[in-house]
Amino acid sequence: MTETSTPDQNFAADAAALAQNVLLEKGRYVARLAQDARDIAAAQALRTLCFRTDQFDADGFDTTCEHVLVEDSRSGALVCCFRLLVLEGGADVSRSYSAQYYDLSAMAGFEGRMVEMGRFCIHQGWTDPDILRVAWGAMTAFVDREEIQMLFGCSSFAGTETEDYLDAFAMLKHRHLAPKRWLPRVKAPNVFKYAARLRRKPDAKKAMLRMPPLLRTYLMMGGWVSDHAVVDNHMNTLHVFTGLEIGAIPPARKRLLRAVAG
């Protein structure tokens, strides 16, 4: 005799699956992993809106990544998303999205588990700073759960005019360049070698005002960047490779992140 599931059993199974995918609930926001193709399509639609591309923002990495959705629990609106590619170690770093633009061979010897965060965006109609906090709390929960030892990705400045960001790039040069053992080398055809070219002393206030919020958060945790920026005309951005060794995050900052994640 074949057993069939009742509607109540199906609802319970769906609820259990959803609960397992929830990374964080905080205030009015819920951060969860995408469950199906509809969730991924919603993330792609938000990316297309935020990045203002002339084509639907989707690529082959979408099928190999986990996707994190931050939603408003009151309306169900998708307010933020990003994707995560887990790698077992530096030997796999050439499979990452970032490796298309940076020579990451120096990182091949990294032995711990890594995760690449990409396509991070927040809906322009939502300005609540808690959204970024919830996103980082969800990231912290994921990093802890997956025993990640390095987080990396590309941090983007809007537009491709370097003059708009000279103080920010000077600040990156003076305080935040990658350790030589991990330093990415040039691979993309169009780059701004700011570490070699800039001689100015940064105006700290102007630098932080022009620093993208995502990159600012990386830096506050002890993150580091490449010595050059890639000029990406397709996405209309300048981006720098950004890395963060989890073990190097200051203890006070770790406590704050885990307080949010908890």
The reported pTM is 0.90
Q: What is the pLDDT of residue 7?
A: 53
Which alpha helices (DSSP H) does the chain contain, by range?
A: 7-21, 37-51, 130-146, 166-175, 194-197, 204-210, 213-220, 251-261
Alpha carbon distance 112, 146 (integer Å): 11
pLDDT band at 53 (very low <50, low <70, confident <90, very high): confident
Q: Indicate the SS3 state at residue 9.
A: helix
Q: What is the pLDDT of residue 13?
A: 43
Alpha carbon distance 219, 176 (integer Å): 7
64, 96, 138 from 108: Cα distances, Å: 20, 12, 27
DSSP state of 196: H
Q: What is the pLDDT of residue 6?
A: 59
Taking only the tens place, the pLDDT of each residue in 107-157 is: 999 999 999 999 999 999 999 999 999 999 999 999 999 999 999 999 999
Alpha carbon distance 178, 172 (integer Å): 10
Summarize the confidence of residues 44-52 as an average pLDDT: 95
* The pLDDT of residue 29 is above 60: yes
Taking only the tens place, the pLDDT of each residue in 221-240 is: 999 999 999 999 989 999 99
Q: Which residues contact 76 (CB under 8 A, 6 or more apart)?
A: none
Instruction: Kindly report the average pLDDT of the chain as a whole number.
Output: 92
Looking up tokens 């205030």, which residue turns up? 27
Alpha carbon distance 37, 34 (integer Å): 8
Taking only the tens place, the pLDDT of each residue in 56-93 is: 999 999 999 999 999 999 999 999 999 999 999 999 99
Q: What is the pLDDT of residue 169?
A: 98
Q: How many helices (H) and strands (E) does the chain have?
A: 8, 12
* The pLDDT of residue 94 is above 80: yes
Q: What is the pLDDT of residue 17?
A: 45
HSE toward the beta carbon, residue 42, CA cutoff 13 A: 20
* The pLDDT of residue 3 is above 80: no
Q: What is the pLDDT of residue 157?
A: 97
58, 119, 248 from 44: Cα distances, Å: 6, 9, 33
Alpha carbon distance 92, 87 (integer Å): 6
pLDDT band at 170 (very low <50, low <70, confident <90, very high): very high
